[in-house]
Amino acid sequence: MTPPPPAALPGLVLRPTEAADEGFLQALYASTRADLAALPLPDAAKAALLAQQYRSQTAHYRARFAAADFSLVLLDGAPVGRLIVARGRHELHLIDISLLPALQGRGIGTQLLAGLIAESDASARPIAAHVACSNPARAWYARLGFRSLADDGVYLRLHRPCADAAPAMEAQA
């Protein structure tokens, strides 16, 4: 059962990303890659590696999910994260949700995902997502009704059925 969303956070809005957001988005990406930041490299080499990885990820997402909504998450007008969602005919694909580490655990991500879950239920389209096996957010996804469909050793393929499909999926398990 999906927990109720947290009380609405006033001032939490999404808007399409713009070229002017690139500096923030690159810094956000770097904040999510503690594994790369911990490499025994000079700071300049780490910064170059993180910038290159951000550019590669962005190019991949833009090429593979060209029709996706690339959104900046704003809280009281300040950028705090990003949300990328591809809305297909038969499913919603959560490509990325990232928040600044200092703002994680405050209900922002849960509110964002609650909106996507409501859209999923209203449109009868399940949500697909991938998460790194090492990502501690796996437990968060599970609390929100996502189940693992596949594990390739690096990523888990997650699925959250829409409300109408939930009883049928449970009966099949």
Task: Find out whether 31 and 100 touch, Cβ atoms under 8 Å.
Answer: yes
pLDDT in tens, 112-170: 999 999 999 999 999 999 998 888 888 999 999 999 998 888 888 999 998 875 444 44
> What are the sequence ranges of the domains in the chain?
14-172
Element at 132 (helix H, strand E):
strand 127-132
CA 13 to chain centre: 15
12-16: strand order across its sheet: 12-16, 69-75, 78-87, 92-99, 127-132, 155-160, 147-151
DSSP character at residue 62: H
pTM: 0.86
| Four-way CATH pick for 14-172: 3.40.50.720, 3.30.930.10, 1.10.230.10, 3.40.630.30 | 3.40.630.30
Task: Find out whether 51 and 26 touch, Cβ atoms under 8 Å.
Answer: yes
Nearest of 38, 48, 27, 9 to residue 100 by alpha carbon: 27
pLDDT in tens, 38-90: 778 888 888 888 889 899 999 999 999 999 999 999 999 999 999 999 999 99
